[in-house]
Chain A
Amino acid sequence: MVKQFEEETNTRAALVLDVSKSMDWSGSPERLTKLRYAEQVVAAIALLLIRQRDAVGLVRYDDRLRTVLPARARTMQWRRIVRSLEEPGAGSDSRMAEGVQQAAKLIRRPGIVILLSDLLVDQDQMEQSLRVARAAGHQVTVLHIMDPSELELDSRGEAIFYDPESTLEVTATVSDVRRAYSATVMHAIEEWRQRLAALGAGYEVIRTDSPFGVPLRRAFATRQRLP
């Protein structure tokens, strides 16, 4: 006779939030910035995990590590996380590799690393840091936060478009490049999806003009411990 057990252990999760200047942007004053939107997502995920008695930690980074909260499963942890979200950020660079590596260190045994970023970073560097996290046995999920105006150019006329985190400036007539831009963005998203899939990481695009419940459910559908 064989007796079967289902062991139930608490999960340890690290939320990695990109707070660089590019995240502090919205294509419309009627919408939240990507950062504000991502912070709400972070708070929601943290609350869910803590209610399940899972341990949650937080790493915020821009051009340096801004916040590092070790994973805890206590109720006070959520308040610490929310307070940390109000700390300054908006640096002129995204040191994503450091953030992910720090998150991987926060959880000693295999857990979950959830990255929230607009992914306006070098793809190879990011892939390398995620590969390290995966090697440590962590499950990695990337939530790609995008403003609708980044998906499709919805402005008109000619302008000089500049990147707030770099010296990059592009002069363009919106009507001329609208289609090509959309195709480029879709292509980039598909690239991210394929690269992360190859690493065994989850990937989901979340638009700041839509409720984040649906993409979160999709992103964590395989995580049975999440509702």
Chain B
Amino acid sequence: MNFLAPIWLGLIAAVAVPLFLHLLRRRIDIRREFPAARYLLRAEKENVRRLKLRNMLLMLLRTLALLFLALAAARPIAALLGSGHVPTALVVVVDNTMSTGAIVDGSPLLSRLKTVAQSVVSGAESNDQTWLVTADRAVTGGARNAVLDAIDRVEPLGGRGDLTGAITHAAGVALAAGLSTSTVVVLTDGQASQWPGDISLGGVRVVAYAPTGVAPYNRAVTMAEPRPARWSPKGTLLVGASGADSVTYRVTLGGRTTARGLLRGSDEQVVRLEPSERGWVAGAVDLAPDELRGDDERYFAVWVGDAPAVNVLPGAGLFVREAVDALVQSTLVTRGPGIEIAAVDEVTRLPALLIAPADPVRMGAANRNLERLGIPWRLGEVRRDETIARGEDVEGTPVRVRYPLRMSTGGAAPSDTLATASGEPWIVAGSGYVLVGSAMSAEASSLPVRAPFLPWLSSMLSEHLTSEGSSLLRAEPGAPIRLPAGITGFEGDSQVLAVGSQPTAPTRAGVYFLRRGDDRVGALVVNPEREESRLDRLSATELKGRLRADDVIIATDPADIPRHAFDASAQRPLQALLLLLALACLVGEMMIVRQAEPQGLRRAA
């Protein structure tokens, strides 16, 4: 037996009071004249045994009543009979990730999880504390009704959320409450991709519900990628979907259906588009709805406008000139005085794509020109060692001759470095420039002779060296984002959402235009994580293996959850039982005393 308030055990000393009174009951000073004292004496003699027994019984009942009251005040818990449950810090984690929006047996799984959560919280008593934690790590605590209301308001997230983070956070909340039992109830669809590894939850008790049965079949749009990111005005859209069978898709752009097609299996298709709109345009690729509606549509945004003008100077090299010719032919760029592409020492102004000179002799002139252009990077001593480049679009490219790029002042921002070689910056970008640390020759690197060269060059020109259309952000729902300077809000669904101090992506998937005042200066595309579309589930055993805690109970029947939620070990509070026993003692004592009370004078004759 344990006591939650052992200080009250001191009250047990009060049991000495009836004992003391019993022992002292004959020490009395009141004298009453009573002529019929002989009858009193006779009555006492004739009933001495009964009176002794009665007095002993009264003393026992009074002593026991005080003992039970003192014990009840100390709030004992024990593995005995008892009512209710031990005071519990109960945190209910409702998995409201996108996958729980799937229709199962005619209703969304999330609504079933919410029903279970409400029945669990309804079982809380005044000694308990309850909280609700959702997969976006939002915590709601307080009165039971407040938590019930919060559960009622839970909606599915637009993406994957952070279920494991929410559960870990819930365990911390439960333990911080300092109650005798800390229980975390996890109500989840058991989606395997949400449980990449074990979760260590410390000294809490975990009761988890995971539905049994096969997860519903789900198809999802996995690819809706404009190529390039800036259309001039023609462009292509890479479309893909998950699933083994064929599925029709539809492409909408600017609110109009612009293409339809058929995807076979998990193939990807390129859709050529030439929208009439200009500026930032929102689009989406959608499939016929299935059980999980949240991933049947995938969003994209593209900037539509004139192709950037490019001026290639002789020092850029043969490969660059031919690549630009190809881009001009495909109308992705035009020739003109816009962006200069040249060797570093030839560039006269920004914006420019600066390429390291082939001859190391020109390194000094190149660095002086970089200084003149206000670019903080400098070319280091030439290195002639075979190495592999790391970076988007150039991953795995062999590099043989390179100038390690170094900042002239301070350290480089990580986002400035687009690719590295041997861990040193190789391609960097900044405001109005892209600087490559090798000459565009086959001797210096394999970049100009590899297939990704053309898309890489197009990407550099349209995304890094063109002011319009360069501010395209992609994020998962609710994820933290880094916005360009001066952004005041997100525009989506005819609403403008204010940007907070620590901006995060909206929780609903869609296209949100970046606003700087009244101007659209970019777009934020929010799409759910692709792995959230995989609905395959963990088994109860696998789920139990993922949860590391003092006690883990996995229930596959939702009706079992409320029972397990407060069934913390076998210990239950005995307070109510002791109070009942004390009451019974007092009632018994009262009945014995009342038996001796006068019931009206009886006629002697």
By the criterion CB–CB under 8 Å, are B38 and A163 in contact?
yes
A157-B30, A176-B54, A180-B47 known; A163+B37 contact, CB < 8 A: yes
Are B596's CB and A175's CB within 8 A? Answer: yes
Does B482 lie at the interface of the complex (its beta carbon under 8 Å from any beta carbon of A)? no
Q: Which residues of B578-605 are within 8 A (CB) of A? A: 593, 595-598, 601-605
Q: How far is the CA of A183 from the CA of B28 in the complex (A)?
A: 25
| Contact (Cβ within 8 A) A163 B26 | no
A186 beta carbon closer than 8 Å to chain B: yes
Indicate if the CB atoms of B605 and A169 lie closer than 8 Å.
Answer: no
| Distance in Å: Cβ of B131 to nearest Cβ of chain A | 55
- Among A45-53, A57-65, A127-135, A143-151, the stretch that binds chain B is A143-151
Specify which chain A residues have a CB less than 8 angstroms from the CB of B54 in the assembled complex. 176
Tell me whether A4 is interfacial, beta carbon within 8 Å: no
Residues of B within 8 A of A212 (CB): none
The answer to whether A177 has its CB under 8 Å from any CB of chain B is yes
Cβ-defined contact, B31 with A185, below 8 A:
no
Within 8 A of A (CB), among B403-421: none
Whether A151 touches B604, Cβ cut-off 8 Å, given contacts A120-B36, A170-B37, A177-B47, is: yes
Residues of chain A lying within 8 A (CB to CB) of residue B106? none
- B32 interface contact, C-beta 8 A: yes
Question: A176-191 interface mask toward B, CB cutoff 8 Å, 1 = contact, 0 = none?
Answer: 1111111111101100
Which single residue of chain A is at the shortest CB-CB distance from B51? A176
B605 neighbours in A (Cβ, 8 Å): 189, 204-205, 215
Among B43, B54, B593: residue with most chain A CB under 10 A:
B43
Q: Which residues of A contact B33 (CB under 8 A)?
A: 25, 161-162, 164
Q: Is A159 in contact with B43, judged by CB distance below 8 angstroms?
A: no
- Note all chain B residues with C-beta closer than 8 A to A189: 604-605
A181 touching B602 in the complex, CB below 8 Å, given contacts A160-B32, A175-B597: no
Q: Mark B31-61, 1 if CB is under 8 A from A, else 0.
A: 1111111111111101100110011000000
Q: List 5 A-B contacts (CB under 8 A).
A: A160-B31, A162-B32, A177-B596, A182-B602, A215-B605
B25 engages A173 (CB within 8 Å): yes
Bound-state Cα–Cα, A171 to B44, Å:
9
Q: Please determine whether B28 and A171 come into contact, CB atoms closer than 8 angstroms.
A: yes
Of residues B33, B40, B44, B596, which shows the largest number of chain A Cβ atoms within 10 Å of its Cβ?
B40
Contact between B593 and A185 (Cβ–Cβ < 8 Å)? no
Tell me, rounded to whole Å, the shortest Cβ–Cβ distance linking B34 to chain A.
Answer: 4
Interface residues in B1-46 by Cβ distance below 8 A to A read 25-26, 28, 30-44, 46
| C-alpha spacing A189/B41, complex, angstroms | 16
Query: Once the chains are docked, how many angstroms separate the CA of A22 from the CA of B39?
Result: 13
Of the candidates A150, A151, A171, A177, the one whose C-beta lies within 8 Å of that of B35 is A150
Interface string of B561-587 (1 = CB under 8 A from A): 000000000000000000000000000
Q: Which of A117-131 contact B (CB under 8 A)?
A: 118, 120
Q: A177-B51, A205-B605 are in contact. Are A184 and B39 (CB under 8 A)?
A: yes
Which B residue's beta carbon lies closest to that of A20?
B35
What's the nearest-Cβ distance from chain A to residue B51, in Å? 5
Q: Report, nearest first, the 10 A-B pairs whose CB atoms are least far apart.
A: A22-B35, A161-B34, A180-B47, A180-B43, A159-B30, A184-B43, A205-B605, A163-B37, A181-B43, A150-B36
- Chain B residues with a Cβ closer than 8 Å to the other chain, count: 34
List residues of chain A with CB within 8 A of the CB of B41: 168, 170
In whole angstroms, what is the CA distance A170 to B44 when docked? 9
Most buried by B among A158, A161, A186: A161
Q: A162-B31, A163-B38, A183-B43 are in contact. Are A171 and B604 (CB under 8 A)?
A: no
A212 to nearest B CB, angstroms? 13
Check if B35 sits within 8 Å of A165, measured CB to CB: yes
Q: Are B46 and A175 in contact (CB under 8 A)?
A: no
- In the complex, which of the residues A159, A180, A204 contacts B46, with contact meaning CB atoms closer than 8 Å? A180
Q: CB distance A161 to B595 under 8 Å? A: no
A179 touches B596 (CB 8 A): yes
Q: Does A207 contact B (CB under 8 A)?
A: yes
Query: Which A residues are in CB contact (< 8 Å) with B25?
Result: 158, 173
**Are A188 and B39 touching (Cβ within 8 A)?**
yes
Asked if A162 and B34 make an inter-chain contact with CB atoms under 8 angstroms apart, the answer reads yes
A129 to B40, CA, bound (A): 26
Q: Known: A151-B604, A176-B54, A189-B604. Is A120-B43 also a contact (CB below 8 A)?
A: no
Give min CB distance, B43 to chain A, whole Å. 4
Residue from B32, B50, B603 in contact with A161 in the complex, judged by beta carbons closer than 8 Å: B32
When distances are taken between beta carbons in the complex, the residues of chain B under 8 Å from A178 are: 596-598
Binary contact readout A196-208 vs B (1 if CB under 8 angstroms, 0 otherwise):
0000000011010
CB distance from B531 to the nearest CB of A (A): 81
Q: Roughly how many angstroms separate A186 CA and B42 CA in the complex, as a whole number?
A: 12
Contact (Cβ within 8 A) B37 A161: yes
* A152 at interface, CB cutoff 8 A: yes
Known A180-B46, A184-B42; judge A152-B598 contact (CB<8 A): yes
User: Assuming A155-B32, A171-B28, is B38 touching A177 (CB within 8 A)?
Assistant: no
Complex Cα–Cα for A173 and B442 (A): 119
Chain B residue with the shortest CB-CB distance to A119: B36
B35: which A residues are within 8 A, CB to CB? 21-23, 25, 118, 120, 150, 163-165
Q: In angstroms, how far is the closest chain B Cβ from the Cβ of A123? A: 11
In the assembled complex, the Cα of A198 lies from the Cα of B31 at a distance in Å of: 39
- Contact indicator B602/A151 (Cβ below 8 Å): yes
Given contacts A118-B35, A152-B598, A170-B44, 14 further A-B contacts (CB under 8 A): A118-B36, A151-B602, A155-B32, A159-B32, A160-B32, A161-B33, A161-B37, A162-B33, A169-B37, A177-B44, A181-B43, A186-B602, A205-B605, A207-B603
Provide the residues of chain B in CB contact with A182, threshold 8 Å: 602
Whether B30 pairs with A162 at a CB distance below 8 angstroms is: no
Q: How far is the CA of A151 from the CA of B36 in the complex (A)?
A: 9
Point out the residues of chain B lying under 8 angstroms from A153, CB to CB: 40, 598
Q: Given A151-B601, A176-B51, A215-B605, answer yes or no on A181-B40 (Cβ-Cβ < 8 Å).
A: yes
Binary contact readout B389-429 vs A (1 if CB under 8 angstroms, 0 otherwise): 00000000000000000000000000000000000000000
Task: Out of A151, A154, A177, A215, name the residue touching B40 (CB < 8 Å).
Answer: A177
Please measure, in the bound complex, the distance between the C-alpha atom of A184 and the C-alpha atom of B42, giving whole angstroms.
7
Q: Collect the chain B residues with CB atoms within 8 Å of residue A160's CB.
A: 28, 30-32
